[in-house]
Structure 1
């Protein structure tokens, strides 16, 4: 469903720069002087998987209708009336001005969904102005830098929230296209004779892989295509992974290397345990390896049909998983039987859920609200009598969710404090079981070159 968004605001806040950023070309003239844009300009805007008509408008100014500024304002008001949503832009480095407040009232009277865009928010110079923008009564200010291409993910989230019905169709089409083009790669790993090949045969409904009571039948990592609920998967059966000290044959070493390669290229890894001796040391080593590689993880306890069904048995296994795999708190655990097919639907749903969490992105504004609260509640410890300052956080990538914290003295932040941040992130934003990466970066000192000159 096509829709139209108008960018409005007073002169020289960066409307044309954002317009050019969204259309992907330098269509609108940009200059430091105010009032460069006079007519409405339309283009095809792109934001993530959304495509829409974006309208650049002249800066709103108080003026009589017969003047040039007045006629420019009339053009802008026409764009507002024809748009489905409005990007109301302010300059975060200046903060809301009386002119911004006057035209915020005009935008509100239109009745259109409004996204308040705080432009020029790169660095910390725009933080105070962005906070003041709440006073405009237009909702959460979205920090962006149109010139430096920052904050576009948050702008995407705000546009989706403003126009849920208009954006839903495009998002579903993009999701279907992405899922159709790239099957989810799932590696099944575990110790020898855990039942990996039997499990895959049951899933695909045929004896595709050789099975038997002997340990170590599988040598190569074999891929099998599989469709479940219209989602395509590529399943990888792998050789059993024993402790390194027990691997002495050259062929077994090659087989284990092939299994490790399957883990590295997988999206989701299912660590298959034998119910009779689940969570042995080697199982924990394999799960640690998956976490180190940054893959989404699901624990499957196989041969559940042979287990004595005591009350609370699955709960005890989950408690054991929490104790043994503390770095993967909340990792999904499913009881299955490759022989009878018990629990396989639950396993596939757990794989889909783990894949979604592994791909999850959190908006910068939500992240920093959480960050401010969590650091205030438990500040980092002082080191050698000097206080550590954690300034702000941003998500730099997914698969797995990875974050950068900008701070002073990055090398002095204790590992325990980083674990505290990871655990709080996991609980607050519902990221169970997936690996989480937090990297520390020191902010550059803008006065450092002056100090060097004095020396």
Structure 2
């Protein structure tokens, strides 16, 4: 399965990583989602240079643990350096190209040397971006960073954009070549188990594999420490992708928290269906919503699993009340099936693979143009399109252009008049009539003369 390469920005605080990140992707990326009802950090985005697409991850600086942020640590602090080692190690494992962002005006610091010492151990391409060199007269100061022994040094100004073209050239040159083996068709349904640490991810994986007793073989994943599990159930092959837990905010260092995005992205881009595991004892947290938001971004199928249900004190009202709470807090995943399970005891674990098959079928469900336009006519009759400045939005016809996820193009007279509320109305009516359980759907609105085959 082909995927975009990942480029990780590494470095200490206040060297301009986020500014450079926004410059590279061509826009300011807000911390709030464009999906109603969600607030989550957006730490990654797709970029393209010279016709080559890749994903940029803004990992953030080295930050203090919660409760100890009254003053920054000095570069020479013994407490500071272990954090750098941990973060650099994660980037070293999971990124395809690493960009070490440094302060070109400040020169080499102890923290820069510590990161460089670790990055020199990897075979991954490393590019140094010597930032904050707003004047070309300062560019010669960038040569100092060749002392780190990591490779090419590019003088840049994230603030003004100078030097970023050279940086992008160096990034693209370091990206791995296309491997035809990545596009070999895998007939199995690929399942990713995602969740915070200690929600029972490993226990669930072991229970699913152990109960079936039909392991074909462990196969190496795309990262060096990942092991995928193959199993067959009711004649269908599944691949359960090994995933690292996504940590909660406030429990560990925030910088390391941000690096977990690297692994989550790589996992999701290999998956068909994701199992979002929630701790039934603790309830929904902001980090659960953060993970759920990533699932919508990557367009994978989703099943929400409330784990540890065996230890939750409950009566006849507990389950419906809990379901309402989950639906309210994760309202952007309203289409996802919800199961209450116990990975420890196996309660309802036997229902998971059946639900996965249902979601996978929904991801590949195709509507005929006739079905879609019959629905469109009903939508327009029962809820006429909006009018603006005396002009009414008109729908001409609709067609489905892609699967996994189902993608629909609607041709209209004025695409800019299709506001979010009307899009949501169309999606709700679509889901009422057709089986898109557990899968996002993409709605695209275009002018009449646009090509429907280019979503």
TM range (shorter): 0.5 to 0.7
Question: Is 1:353 equivalent to 2:353 in the alignment?
Answer: no
Q: CA deviation at 1:253?
A: 5.2
Q: Indicate if the aligned counterparts of 1:390 and 1:406 stay in contact, CA closer than 8 A.
A: yes
Name the CA distance, whole Å, in 2 between partners of 1:315 and 1:419.
Answer: 25
Cross-structure match for 1:332: 337
Secondary structure of the residue aligned to 1:308 is coil
Cross-structure match for 2:443: 438
Q: Indicate if the aligned counterparts of 2:398 and 2:408 stay in contact, CA closer than 8 A.
A: yes
Cross-structure match for 1:262: 267
Name the CA distance, whole Å, in 2 between partners of 1:266 and 1:293.
Answer: 10
Q: Deviations over 1:359-410 (max 9, x none)?
A: 1111110110010011111111101221111111111111011100000110
Secondary structure of the residue aligned to 2:322 is helix
Cross-structure match for 2:19: none
Q: Indicate if the aligned counterparts of 1:221 and 1:258 stay in contact, CA closer than 8 A.
A: no
Secondary structure of the residue aligned to 1:258 is helix
Question: Is 1:299 equivalent to 2:304 in the alignment?
Answer: yes
Secondary structure of the residue aligned to 1:234 is strand
Cross-structure match for 2:14: none
Q: Let me know the Cα RMSD of the aligned residues.
A: 2.7
Q: CA deviation at 1:324?
A: 2.3
Q: Indicate if the aligned counterparts of 2:306 and 2:340 stay in contact, CA closer than 8 A.
A: yes
Q: What residue ranges of structure 2 are gaps of 5+ in the alignment?
A: 1-184, 214-223, 451-455
Name the CA distance, whole Å, in 2 between partners of 1:427 and 1:358.
Answer: 16
Name the CA distance, whole Å, in 2 between partners of 1:438 and 1:258.
Answer: 28
Question: Is 1:313 equivalent to 2:313 in the alignment?
Answer: no
- Map 1:169-188 onto structure 2 (within 5 A): 182-188=187-193
Q: Deviations over 1:69-102 (max 9, x none)?
A: xxxxxxxxxxxxxxxxxxxxxxxxxxxxxxxxxx
Cross-structure match for 2:410: 405
Name the CA distance, whole Å, in 2 between partners of 1:246 and 1:303.
Answer: 20
Cross-structure match for 1:196: 201
Cross-structure match for 1:159: none
Cross-structure match for 2:12: none
CA 1:375/1:223 → structure 2, altered by over 3 Å: closer, same or farther? same
Name the CA distance, whole Å, in 2 between partners of 1:367 and 1:380.
Answer: 17
Find the partner of 1:323 among 314, 317, 328. 328
Find the partner of 1:368 among 369, 373, 376. 373
Find the partner of 1:343 among 343, 348, 351. 348
CA 1:401/1:321 → structure 2, altered by over 3 Å: closer, same or farther? farther
Cross-structure match for 2:383: 378
Secondary structure of the residue aligned to 2:416 is helix
Find the partner of 2:282 among 277, 280, 284. 277
Q: What residue ranges of structure 1 are gaps of 5+ in the alignment?
A: 1-179, 209-218, 446-455
Q: CA deviation at 1:243?
A: 4.8
Q: CA deviation at 1:255?
A: 4.7
Question: Is 1:226 equivalent to 2:243 in the alignment?
Answer: no
Secondary structure of the residue aligned to 1:223 is strand
Name the CA distance, whole Å, in 1 between partners of 2:322 and 2:228.
Answer: 29
CA 1:225/1:410 → structure 2, altered by over 3 Å: closer, same or farther? same
Q: Indicate if the aligned counterparts of 2:335 and 2:440 stay in contact, CA closer than 8 A.
A: no
Name the CA distance, whole Å, in 2 between partners of 1:318 and 1:221.
Answer: 33
CA 1:261/1:360 → structure 2, altered by over 3 Å: closer, same or farther? same
Secondary structure of the residue aligned to 2:388 is coil
Q: Indicate if the aligned counterparts of 1:247 and 1:253 stay in contact, CA closer than 8 A.
A: no
Cross-structure match for 1:69: none
Q: Deviations over 1:31-68 (max 9, x none)?
A: xxxxxxxxxxxxxxxxxxxxxxxxxxxxxxxxxxxxxx
TM-score, normalising length: structure 2:
0.53
Cross-structure match for 1:417: 422
Name the CA distance, whole Å, in 1 between partners of 2:269 and 2:323.
Answer: 26
Q: Deviations over 1:148-194 (max 9, x none)?
A: xxxxxxxxxxxxxxxxxxxxxxxxxxxxxxxx951110000011111
Q: Indicate if the aligned counterparts of 1:186 and 1:268 stay in contact, CA closer than 8 A.
A: yes
- Map 1:110-121 onto structure 2 (within 5 A): none
Name the CA distance, whole Å, in 2 between partners of 1:432 and 1:183.
Answer: 19
Name the CA distance, whole Å, in 2 between partners of 1:321 and 1:377.
Answer: 31
Q: In proportion to residue count, which structure has more helix?
A: 1
Secondary structure of the residue aligned to 1:200 is helix
Higher relative contact order (CA 8 A, sep 6+): 2
Cross-structure match for 1:426: 431
Q: Indicate if the aligned counterparts of 1:196 and 1:237 stay in contact, CA closer than 8 A.
A: no
